[in-house]
Amino acid sequence: MKPEKGTISGLQMALMLYPAVIATAFLTLPTITAQYAGNDLWLTPILSGISGALTLFLAVRLHRLYPGQTVIEYSVKIIGTVPGKIVGFAYFIFLLYLTGVIARQYAEFVKSAIMFKTPLLVILSSILLLAAIAVRGGVELIARAATILTPVFVIPSFVLLLLLPDLNVQHLFPVLEKGWIPVLKGSLAPNAYTSEFFLMTFFLPLLSNPEKGAKWAAVSIAADLFSGLYASLLVLFLLGPDTADKVYPVLTAFRYISLANFFENLEALLVAMWVIGNFLKLSIFLYAATTSLVQTLELKDYRMVVYPLAVWCVLFSLWDYPNLPSLDNHIKYVSPFELLAFFNAIPLLLLLAASARQVFKGSPNLPAKGKNAVE
């Protein structure tokens, strides 16, 4: 059952998933990874390729077993109606709440960087209203917005190259002074962020060229890793041991740009970039949350639930955290486990269960074409 008639191309999916993951990671991850890994923080985005590869494998493999279905639909097929619905509902709650966390992260940054007096509620609700309008417009609208806006989101990050004269490569050394353990600890958060690529489960069924889905998702994951590496190295070379102590190291980097005493105060550019990136991120997460609810409850029309869900997101983001440190602690200590549980562990269990069904044939729930799809 599809709530959606639109189709998107593989490239469009890649352009949607890229900001959906990097938009928040770009700004906050260097601090978290530097707190664990110190000057080896640049290794953590590379290590997040582990989760990237696993996520890609899980999403694509499951989709190949159950073509044209999202995780919500095939979980019912794999583990039965009642447990499947519970899983679907869990995804819905988690995605909705995650959208709230992202919105809060977005709003906290805008408030602490540039709009000091604007109430949090206004920043939150305006972006979520925009995201809700985009979701109501359907997946094609989000995809086209991503086609236009993702380049606009990416290009300002190259302005950071103006910092080249201020960079000190020496901050890189000594490499791996304390061994791999701190680096591995630090790489947990980037891995968790990368696992958000599992959201491709909601877009793979909508592809007009499904055979290219895996390829484009891989391109998107690779672009994400490179962006993480770029941001990490840049802030490390600029801030050195100070990286871990900055709430938003990339913001500091943007503020530090000065070209001929004239091209300065560029943080507005970062905020613009952040608004664009998070509009896409929130639209995609809200879309995923909506789809989960609609498919779990098998609703006919998804449009009517979008606005109420957006209101829930606002409430979630305000209820969850009394202040920025508690949000940061959550992102540092809790989020990695939540994300990995929902985007890697549950899909892995589903895939194992599906494979088990393959072995013990005669399962009534497994669709016939699924068997052929397994090479």
Partner 1 sequence: MFAIGKITAPIALLLLLSGCWDRVELNDLSLITAIAFDKPQQNNSVEVTAQIIIPKVKGGGDGGTGGGGGGQAKQTVTRTASGSDIADAISKLQMVIPRKIFWGQCKVFIFGEEIAREGIREHMDFLLRHPQPRERGYVFVSRGRGADVLELFPPIERSSSEVIRELAQLGIGLKVTLEQLSIRLKGESGAQALPLVHILPKSKSSKPFETIAYLSGTAVFKDGKMIGELSSRETRGVLWVRNEIDEYTVTYENDPAKGKVSIHPLHAKVKLVPRIEDGTWKMDIKVRTAGDLVQNGTPLNPMDPQVLKKMEEGMKKDIQARIRDALKLLQRDLNADILDFANAYHRKYPKIWAEAKDEWETKFPEIEATVDVEARINRPGMVNSPGGISQETGTEK
- Chain residues binding partner 1 by CB under 8 A are 112-119, 122, 126, 170, 173-174, 177, 238-242, 245, 252, 255-256, 258, 261, 264-265
Going from the C-alpha of 321 to that of each of 111, 120, 289, 329, the distances in angstroms are 15, 12, 21, 10
Q: Which is nearer to partner 1, 238 or 346 (CB)?
A: 238
Q: Evaluate whether 3 touches 299 at the Cβ level (below 8 Å).
A: yes
Residue whose token pair is 């068997």: 371
Shortest spacing between CB 271 and partner 1, in angstroms: 11
Shortest spacing between CB 157 and partner 1, in angstroms: 19
Q: Which is nearer to partner 1, 109 or 302 (CB)?
A: 109
Shortest spacing between CB 170 and partner 1, in angstroms: 7
DSSP H helical ranges for 5-70:
10-37, 43-47, 49-65
Shortest spacing between CB 27 and partner 1, in angstroms: 15
Q: Which is nearer to partner 1, 40 or 224 (CB)?
A: 40
Burial of 129 by CB count in 10 Å (0-12 exposed, 13-18 middle, 19+ buried)?
Answer: middle
365 vs 163: CA distance, rounded Å:
58
Shortest spacing between CB 299 and partner 1, in angstroms: 22
Q: Which is nearer to partner 1, 167 or 349 (CB)?
A: 167
Q: Which is nearer to partner 1, 120 or 141 (CB)?
A: 120
Nearest in space to 128 (alpha carbons), one of 153, 156, 152, 99? 99
Q: Which is nearer to partner 1, 126 or 326 (CB)?
A: 126
60 vs 39: CA distance, rounded Å:
35
Burial of 261 by CB count in 10 Å (0-12 exposed, 13-18 middle, 19+ buried)?
Answer: exposed
Residue 235 DSSP SS3 = helix
Shortest spacing between CB 243 and partner 1, in angstroms: 10
H or E stretch covering 85? helix 81-113
Shortest spacing between CB 364 and partner 1, in angstroms: 47
Q: Which is nearer to partner 1, 15 or 257 (CB)?
A: 257
